[in-house]
């Protein structure tokens, strides 16, 4: 019995078979790097953002390479995931061109996932994304990270909770599913902050959630803070307990896309346990099973 709504199971039910993501780098920038709203990016964000650093390879070639690597194995249907940096931060014409290029590679592509910032979603972007919905399952991933505005300033987020709320409302107006990202273990945050973040999300019309561990990678401001003793990473047990709290207090209709972030191993500074994803997965499953807990069990209507 699944204790929470797993993305893989949800997609299998929706499409009738297993569906995998293909991560592509669309060559986008970020307004928090080029000076439009800030410089340097979020303090935890590395040189390649959250992506694979493939911007020197065409989008179509990236998709074809992934499809070839999966040939005859694992899945026959795929969602193209524009992951690196801010994937709506361009002209509408260029956005359409890039999305079209990715989606036209194969009839095995059944979905489009766009990672972006709340302050880079407007009516034209929402309309463009909605135009693909007749043929593809389209959803947008929005980073909230925390509902604590002061923490938002510390991590150099560069947008407000109101920006997030407005982006969610706009995307849902056009029937686009929204996946929120939150991070556990951010600087100066405690259990009260996590509770407030969960309460904030429960009040939003989101359809999915990604729970990320806060990890330190080389060359970031967070790495400087860690090495200077200004920041301490969260311990595994505390992280597992925090994930269980989120799962049991978040609405039961929300699809859980992940419960831990994947740090690039060659760049990871801390915590070491982050490289062992099964420690988190197994730890959360064990606690949920032993305590007979379910997603949304303590959701406060």
In a domain, 2, yes or no: no
Q: Report the alpha-carbon distance of residue 103 to residue 113 in Å, rounded.
A: 11
In a domain, 301, yes or no: no
In a domain, 300, yes or no: no
| pTM, two decimal places | 0.94
CATH number at residue 110: 3.20.20.70
Q: Report the alpha-carbon distance of residue 118 to residue 140 in Å, rounded.
A: 10
Write the secondary structure of the chain as one string of H (helix), E (strand) and C (coil): CCCCCEHHHHHHHHHCCCEEEEEECCCCCCCCCCCCCCCCCCCCCCCCCCCCCCCCCCHHHHHHHHHHHCCCCCCCEEEEEECCCCCCCCCHHHHHHHHHHHHCCCCCEEEEEEEECHHHCCHHHHHHHHCCCCCCEEEEEEEEECCCHHHHHHCCCCCCHHHHHHHHHHHHHCCCEEEEEEEECCCCCCHHHHHHHHHHHHCCCCCEEEEEECCEECCCHHHHHHHCCCCCCCCHHHHHHHHHHHHHHCCCCCEEEECCCCCCCCCEEECHHHHCHHHHHHHHHHHHHHCCCCCCCCCCC
In whole angstroms, what separates CA 172 from the centre of its chain?
Answer: 17
Contact present, 286 and 237 (Cβ < 8 Å): no
Question: How large is the angle between the packed helices 123-130 and 92-103, nearest 10 degrees?
Answer: 20
Q: Report the alpha-carbon distance of residue 157 to residue 181 in Å, rounded.
A: 13
In a domain, 1, yes or no: no
Block residue for tokens 């999915």: 208
In a domain, 58, yes or no: yes
In a domain, 195, yes or no: yes
Q: Report the alpha-carbon distance of residue 87 to residue 293 in Å, rounded.
A: 36
- For 167, the domain range is 7-290
- Total of domains in the chain: 1
Whether the upstream peptide bond of residue 102 has omega within 30° of 0, thus cis, is: no
Q: Tokens for 11, please give them.
A: 């997609």
Q: Which residues pair with 204 in a beta bridge?
A: none
CA-based torsion, 266, 271, 272, 276: positive or negative: negative
pLDDT tens sequence for the chain (301 residues): 899 999 999 999 999 999 999 999 999 988 777 656 666 678 888 765 554 456 679 999 999 999 988 766 678 899 999 998 899 999 999 999 999 999 999 999 999 999 999 999 999 999 999 999 999 999 999 999 999 999 999 999 989 999 999 999 999 999 999 999 999 999 999 999 999 999 999 999 999 999 999 999 999 999 999 999 999 999 999 999 999 999 999 999 999 999 998 888 889 999 999 988 899 999 999 999 999 999 999 998 6
In a domain, 299, yes or no: no
Q: Tokens for 228, please give them.
A: 């200077």
In a domain, 129, yes or no: yes
């Amino acid at each position: 019995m699944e204790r929470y709504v797993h993305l893989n199971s949800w997609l299998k039910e929706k499409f009738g078979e297993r569906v995998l993501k293909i991560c592509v780098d669309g060559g986008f920038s970020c307004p928090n790097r080029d000076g439009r709203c800030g410089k340097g990016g979020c303090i935890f964000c590395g040189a390649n953002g959250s992506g694979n650093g493939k911007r020197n390879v065409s989008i179509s070639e990236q998709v074809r390479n992934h499809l070839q690597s999966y040939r005859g194995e694992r899945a026959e249907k795929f969602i193209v995931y524009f992951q690196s940096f801010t994937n709506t931060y361009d002209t509408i014409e260029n956005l359409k061109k890039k999305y079209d290029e990715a989606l036209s590679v194969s009839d095995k592509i059944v979905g489009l996932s766009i990672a972006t910032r709340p302050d880079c979603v407007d009516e034209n972007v929402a309309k463009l994304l909605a135009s693909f919905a007749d043929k593809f399952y389209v959803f947008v991933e929005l980073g909230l990270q925390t509902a604590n505005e002061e923490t938002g300033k510390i991590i150099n987020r560069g947008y407000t909770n109101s920006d997030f709320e407005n982006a969610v409302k706009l995307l849902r107006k056009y029937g686009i599913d929204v996946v929120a990202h939150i991070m556990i273990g951010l600087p100066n945050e405690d259990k009260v902050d996590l509770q407030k973040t969960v309460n904030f999300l429960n009040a939003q019309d989101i359809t999915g959630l990604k729970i990320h561990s806060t990890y330190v990678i080389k060359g970031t401001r967070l790495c400087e803070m860690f090495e200077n003793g200004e920041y301490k990473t969260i311990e595994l047990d505390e992280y597992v307990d925090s994930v269980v709290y989120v799962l049991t207090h978040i609405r039961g209709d929300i699809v859980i896309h992940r419960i831990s972030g994947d740090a690039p191993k060659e760049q990871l500074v801390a915590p070491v346990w982050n490289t062992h994803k099964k420690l988190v997965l197994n730890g959360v499953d064990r606690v949920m099973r032993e305590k007979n807990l379910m997603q949304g069990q303590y959701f406060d209507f």
